[in-house]
């Protein structure tokens, strides 16, 4: 996974983020898988609700399961 700079992050459309406040970018499969793992950790830590994680996982799985055309 390539390092994402703040300038690069700003160029990503809001639709490519799975979490609240433009958190958890899911523009590719690697980032989507990372979002699933990191959101699980955030729930354990208490900084993310299980409901918010469910939304993140759902959006990330769409990216992971997306077939190339």
Integer Cα distance of 35 and 65 in angstroms: 14
% of residues, the chain, pLDDT over 90 = 71
pLDDT of residue 30: 92
Whether 62 shows a pLDDT value over 90: the answer reads yes
Whether 49 shows a pLDDT value over 90: the answer reads yes
pTM of structure: 0.85
25 phi/psi in degrees, rounded to 5: -65, 135
Q: pLDDT band at residue 1, thresholds of 50, 70 and 90?
A: low
| Domain layout of the chain by residue ranges | 25-69
Tokens of 27: 């523009």
């Amino acid at each position: 996974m390539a390092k994402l700079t703040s300038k690069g992050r700003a160029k990503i459309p809001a639709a490519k983020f799975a979490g609240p406040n433009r958190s958890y970018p899911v523009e590719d499969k690697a980032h989507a898988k990372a979002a699933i793992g990191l959101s699980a950790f955030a729930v354990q830590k208490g900084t993310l609700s299980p409901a918010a994680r469910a939304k993140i996982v759902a959006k990330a799985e769409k990216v992971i399961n997306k077939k190339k055309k």
